[in-house]
Amino acid sequence: MTAPSPSADRVILRLTGVTKAYETLRGERLEALAPVDLTINSGEFAVIVGASGCGKTTLLNLVAGFEFPTTGTVQIDDRPITGPGRDRMMLFQEHALFPWLTVIENVMFGLRNGTHGSAADLRDRARRYLDLVGLDRFAAARIHELSGGMRQRVALARALAPEPEIILFDEPFGALDALTRERFYSRIQALFALRRITGLFVTHNVREAACLGDRVIVMGNQPGRIMKDISVPLPRPRDFYDPEVSKLAGHILHELRQGAADEN
């Protein structure tokens, strides 16, 4: 086992004083996020964990550019985020692939706008990323011919292919069975070994957070806020059922429970 590589010093993502509020149908103001300050370094994989309703996905949507903060700033590589962009790719819980396209055509779809090169070059690039997720031999398959786990691997290849600054993960393994999820954990960590992926990963699964993260950011709610930012010293690759992973998961769960107790 090898120790995780130290993150580069360059801050790739910065949230400063970010809040988010919504107006209900009754005209009441709902505070979804309290002021959030957060930085993510290039090559760092940060996991946000918290109970349902704590603002995890809201925060992710702000970074994706799907929503905008009520106050504060969100910056990618020192540039304000003004909407979705190719520098940020999202992997959703549902794969969002196009069923009328083949596997390789789905991966190429994300390369068509803003990626230079001939159609042959883009196809070669898409095939490289399919090979990276172990699906090169399924390039000509249709989406309905794939299992749920394979579809998510295609979605991951599509997110990786444009080589974004950061990949955003919105509980991407929640719909998969336990065995498929465990295989995904191994595959994601194998990708870490091949290239430095900068990621922001949202989950409510504390063991998943302990298994995957360089950092685990624990959120509480009423309104959503960061309670703890835990550095993970465990070497990679990590086994989902390793005692040290279990111990860290227990610590994360304790922090979540403590935060919930403080709210009551």
Task: Write the DSSP assignment of 25-90 as a string of letters.
Answer: TTS-EEEEEEEEEEEEETT-EEEEE--TTSSHHHHHHHHHTSS--SEEEEEETTEE--S--TTEEE
List the structure tokens of 147. Answer: 């299992």
Q: Cα 119 to the chain's mean position, in Å?
A: 29
- Greater confidence, 28 or 3? 28
Token pair recorded at residue 52: 């349902």
Residue 260 near residue 220 (C-beta atoms within 8 A): yes
Is 123 a residue whose pLDDT tops 70?
yes
Instruction: Inform me whether the pLDDT recorded for 4 exceeds 80.
Output: no
The answer to which of 3-17, 33-47, 84-98, 202-216 has the lowest mean pLDDT is 3-17
Structure tokens at 141: 């398959």
Which of 198, 201, 192, 182 shows the shortest CA–CA distance to 93? 201
Rg (the chain; Cα; Å):
19
Least confident residue range of 63-67, 111-115, 128-132, 201-205: 111-115
Q: What percentage of the chain has pLDDT greater than the value 90?
A: 59
What is the number of other CB atoms lying within 10 angstroms of the CB of residue 37? Answer: 11
Class of domain 11-87+165-263: alpha beta
Percent of the chain with pLDDT over 70: 92
Q: Is 205 helix (H, G, I), strand (E, B) or coil?
A: coil
Give the mean pLDDT of the chain: 88
> CA angle, corner 193, sides to 40 and 10, nearest 5?
25
Closest Cα partner for 188 from 172, 175, 207, 176? 172
Query: Which segments of the chain belong to CATH 3.40.50.300?
Result: 11-87+165-263
